[in-house]
């Protein structure tokens, strides 16, 4: 664990995240995040964009990917209802030598190292927690740790980005926080071709036919204003493929195509949260199989 001394207090930093998340399609969204982070000259400040969209559209993936593209270490912080201000800054723990050891949060580790902090699902945490980041997000560019009694100035390369689900189960943040999390970048459901690319990227071992079925369903769902996302599609395909691979005992009979379709239907009924959607998926599959025969 890396250590650093700030105003006489030793802080233990956490390591950045190294995860296999890459973004495909909609390249302008990556460009928008990177543009927000640009600094044009000495008096300029970077912006801290807010990525907004339905669950499963790729907000976390985009934030992480943009951070890596910008050649910075990326620190993911999962916000929850229970996130306290000190969880975002510095927390004290008792060391083996019974002394207080101060641990920097992923956000503060990014602040010190000049990395990107991604505050994931930022509208799950309260205004009180966001308030502790207010000076970081304006021209002051620092955070204060009440616990350690220090002020931590941001590295010039430090950048921040937050993701927010636009569902109801979250806090409504006040204007002074919203105005610091700009611009708002909205992520919509992808077009058919891009959605297929995303599925291929996430399931490179899957049969094209399986992915075609899933994309057909997702596109129909988007068209009907349903909230099902590529994440649901990935889960359906992934589980169906696992069932298919585990099917060594010949319990399912029929040809390869029928077995694949059977497992996709089973996966849909277990993953989609309404019977209507699962039924719709089944009908769509039957329809597509029928068309192929003709």
Ligand X SMILES: Nc1ncnc2c1ncn2[C@@H]1O[C@H](COP(=O)(O)OP(=O)(O)O)[C@@H](O)[C@H]1O
Beta bridge mates, 11: 4, 102
Which one-letter DSSP state was computed for residue 25? S
x/- mask, Mg ion, residues 42-61, rule CB under 5 A, reads ------------------x-
Closest CB to Mg ion among 26 and 60? 60
Closest CB to Mg ion among 121 and 226? 121
Closest CB to ligand X among 56 and 262? 56
Strand order in the sheet with 100-104: 3-6, 9-12, 100-104, 90-94
Half-sphere exposure (Cβ direction) of 65: Cα atoms closer than 13 Å: 18
Size of the site for Mg ion (CB under 5 A): 1
173 binds, among ligand X, Mg ion, none (CB under 5 to 8 A by kind): none
When asked if residue 26 is in the footprint of Mg ion (CB under 5 A), the reply is no
Supply 97's token pair. 């030598």
Closest CB to ligand X among 8 and 225? 225
Antiparallel, parallel or unpaired: β 50-53 and 159-165:
parallel
x/- mask, Mg ion, residues 60-99, rule CB under 5 A, reads x---------------------------------------
d(CA 176, CA 160): 16
d(CA 227, CA 110): 33
**Site residues (CB under 6 A) for ligand X?**
21, 23-25, 53, 55-61, 163, 198, 201-202, 230-231, 234
């Amino acid at each position: 664990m890396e250590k650093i001394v700030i105003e006489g207090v030793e802080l233990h930093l956490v390591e950045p995240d190294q995860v296999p998340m890459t973004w495909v399609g909609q390249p302008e969204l990556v460009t928008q995040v990177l543009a927000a982070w640009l600094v044009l000259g000495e008096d300029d400040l970077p912006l801290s964009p807010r990525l907004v969209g339905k669950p499963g559209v790729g907000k976390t993936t985009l934030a992480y990917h943009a951070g890596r593209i910008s050649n910075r270490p990326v620190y993911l912080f999962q916000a929850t209802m229970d996130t306290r201000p000190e969880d975002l800054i510095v927390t004290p723990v008792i060391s083996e030598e019974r002394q207080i050891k101060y641990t920097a949060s992923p956000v503060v580790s990014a602040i010190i190292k000049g990395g990107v902090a991604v505050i994931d699902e930022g509208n799950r945490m309260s205004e009180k927690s966001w308030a502790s980041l207010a000076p970081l997000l304006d021209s002051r560019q620092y955070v204060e740790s009440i616990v350690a009694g220090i002020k931590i100035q941001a590295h010039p390369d430090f950048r921040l980005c937050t993701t927010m689900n636009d569902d109801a189960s979250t806090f409504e943040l006040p204007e002074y926080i919203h105005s610091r999390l700009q611009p708002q970048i909205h992520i919509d459901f992808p077009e058919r071709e891009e959605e297929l690319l995303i599925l291929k990227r996430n399931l490179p071992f899957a049969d094209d036919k399986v992915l075609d079925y899933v994309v057909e369903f997702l596109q129909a769902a988007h068209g009907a204003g349903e909230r099902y996302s590529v994440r649901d599609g990935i889960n359906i395909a992934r589980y169906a493929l696992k069932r298919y691979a585990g099917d060594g005992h010949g319990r399912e009979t029929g040809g390869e195509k029928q077995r694949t379709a059977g497992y996709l239907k089973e996966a849909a009924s277990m993953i989609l949260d309404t019977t209507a959607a699962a039924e719709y998926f089944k009908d769509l599959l039957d329809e597509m199989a029928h068309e192929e025969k003709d």
